[in-house]
């Protein structure tokens, strides 16, 4: 049985939480209509953010660094998705997020290890 997945990545900033005209970058991963947001731990000046193209506009060093970082994040998320697809695992946005953040499904807390 062959299954088909829809997969998209959207980059956005949260202007409502901006401080000093800088807002945090987020990636939204959507798979089969289910989505999750991933905080990218980077801030961008809201004046250089282009909400239509979902990247920084301009040719400044800051804009180039942001766009290079977004390309890196996009390729890393896509590689995680492809690996899960190749393994035949159940693919969920939460699973992609946890792998991206370095959390393992089989990881245990210290209390669980001591028991």
* Residue 25 confidence (pLDDT): 94
Nearest one of 75, 10, 11, 8 to 49, comparing CA atoms: 11
30-70: pLDDT as tens digits: 999 999 999 999 999 999 999 999 999 999 999 999 999 99
Closest to 9 (Cα-Cα) out of 44, 48, 54: 54
Q: Please tell me the predicted confidence (pLDDT) of residue 106.
A: 61
> Does 63 or 5 have the greater pLDDT score?
63
Provide, rounded to the nearest whole percent, the portion of the chain with pLDDT above 90.
Answer: 69
Distance between alpha carbon 33 and the CA centroid of its chain, in Å? 16
Give start and end residues of each alpha helix (H) in the chain: 61-87, 93-100, 110-114
How many Cα atoms within 13 Å fall on the side-chain side of residue 11? 27
Residue 33 has a pLDDT of: 92
The yes-or-no verdict on residue 4 having pLDDT over 70 is no
Give the predicted TM-score (pTM) of the model. Answer: 0.81
- pLDDT at position 1: 42
pLDDT at residue 104 in the model? 66
């Amino acid at each position: 049985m062959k299954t088909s997945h829809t997969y998209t990545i959207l980059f956005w900033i949260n202007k409502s939480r901006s401080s000093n005209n800088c807002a945090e970058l987020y990636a939204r991963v959507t798979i089969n209509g289910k989505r999750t947001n991933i905080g990218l731990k980077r801030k961008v000046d809201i004046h250089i953010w282009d909400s239509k193209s979902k990247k920084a506009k301009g040719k400044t060093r800051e804009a180039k660094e942001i766009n290079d970082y977004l390309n890196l994040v996009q390729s890393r998320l896509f590689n995680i998705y492809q690996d899960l697809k190749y393994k035949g695992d159940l693919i969920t946005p939460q699973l992609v997020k946890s792998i991206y953040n370095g959390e393992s499904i089989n990881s245990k807390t210290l209390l669980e290890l001591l028991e």
